Chains A and B, each alone.
Chain A
């Protein structure tokens, strides 16, 4: 039986998963009302599908790894508050699926 405060959980969790930086995660999700938004765009190029993405969050140093399915493969992208881009080895935008139901994030696809 324990009586605790939130910070006990945050400290315990950070110590348990010490290789993952969780300070900004907890700051964003527990101390602020908003959730991060991921803006992304998929465009066809000669070399494959170009994915551009950027997270918009109140915690400027927050980074969240997000799983993306590309055809039969699953890759991870690291979303943060700067515009990033990568080339995916597929020729169809429909092959690219962000696993949105794993994260409390809002996703906005850019035209």
Chain B
């Protein structure tokens, strides 16, 4: 289930506006005892309720966008891993996948270390450390649910096997949705008009990941690969105070926004300063 844009009030009663977030959240789900329920944050209770029911309670210890609150129910198997930050701190990585994808997922999700490592280099540590990092297999492509990323890219490279240069081999959904943990979930827009804050910066993070893993020239090549998608049909910043998320008919908040940041970096023309700006921006704005 994903509700970004339409809004979380589609499925649970809430103050459904980007400008306000609950400081903490508890999510309790009761499901048939053959299934697991996975949500944001930490699993705090896991209890048999009798009569074929099982309940799972999850707690989120950070502010969270209402559209990021999420429930996944499935015949999941769980495995875990640990990411070690530059300062030695350990981050729990928890993965919930369908049983027939377990071995594939164990191999495929190793790239999470590369993603988190590069993002840490550019933007500092993963922002929801206490809640851990999760990927949860879903029937849809993906969504950046805070600390509980929906993953449906079928364990393929790029975007369902495509949409990245042929010599690159990362999973677009893992990369992009993990980027949103910084821009979207940690730094959040207060109005739909400002959604470029989520999408432009996160798309630019993809290029930074390529730079981190390969080189700056490869990152420029990645940006050039995305440039044909730019349409220049509408301003990046929309009209505030209206529920108008479908105003955007192109991907300009993604690709054009990323190119604007790339252009700004070229104008600044000082890589060390640019990188310091990005890191300070996330940590101090």
Residues of B within 8 A of A1 (CB): 21, 62-63, 127, 186-188
Give the number of chain A interface residues (Cβ < 8 Å).
Answer: 32
Give the shortest distance, in Å, between A17 (CB) and chain B (any CB): 6
- Contact B285 A104, beta carbon cutoff 8 Å: no
> In the bound complex, how far is the Cα of B268 from the Cα of A35, in angstroms?
19
User: Within the complex, what minimum Cβ distance (angstroms) separates A57 from chain B?
Assistant: 12
Query: A31, B186: Cβ atoms under 8 Å?
Result: no
> A25 contacts which chain B residues (CB < 8 A)?
264, 267
A42 vs B256: C-alpha distance in the bound complex, in angstroms?
Answer: 29
**With A33-B232, A33-B234, A101-B220 given, is the CB distance from A3 to B190 under 8 Å?**
yes
B280 touches A30 (CB 8 A): no
Which B residues, 49 to 75, have Cβ-Cβ distances below 8 Å to chain A? 62-63
Known: A20-B267, A103-B263. A4 touches B285 (CB 8 A): yes
* Interface residue? B197 (CB, 8 A): yes
Interface residues of B in 257-280 (CB under 8 A from A): 259-260, 262-264, 266-269, 273, 277, 280
Decide if the interface of chain A is mainly helix, strand, loop or mixed: mixed
From the candidates A29, A35, A102, name the one contacting B266 in the complex (CB within 8 A). Answer: A102
| B149, CB-defined interface residue at 8 Å | no
Residues of A within 8 A of B167 (CB): none
Does B19 reach chain A (CB closer than 8 Å)?
yes
Q: Please give me the residue from chain A that is nearest to B190 by CB atom.
A: A3
Give the contact stretch, choosing among A8-16, A46-54, A89-97. Answer: A8-16
Name B's A-contacting residues (CB within 8 A). 18-21, 62-63, 127, 186-191, 193-194, 196-197, 220, 223-224, 230, 232-237, 240, 256, 259-260, 262-264, 266-269, 273, 277, 280-281, 285
User: 5 closest A-B pairs (Cβ-Cβ)?
Assistant: A102-B266, A104-B259, A104-B263, A30-B236, A29-B260
Residues of chain A whose beta carbon lies under 8 Å from any beta carbon of chain B? 1-6, 8-9, 12-13, 16-17, 20, 22, 25, 29-35, 64-65, 67, 76, 99, 101-105
Query: 24 interchain pairs (CB within 8 A)?
Result: A1-B62, A1-B63, A2-B187, A3-B188, A4-B188, A5-B190, A5-B240, A6-B196, A6-B237, A8-B285, A9-B197, A9-B281, A20-B267, A29-B256, A29-B260, A30-B235, A30-B237, A30-B260, A31-B235, A33-B232, A64-B267, A67-B266, A99-B266, A104-B259
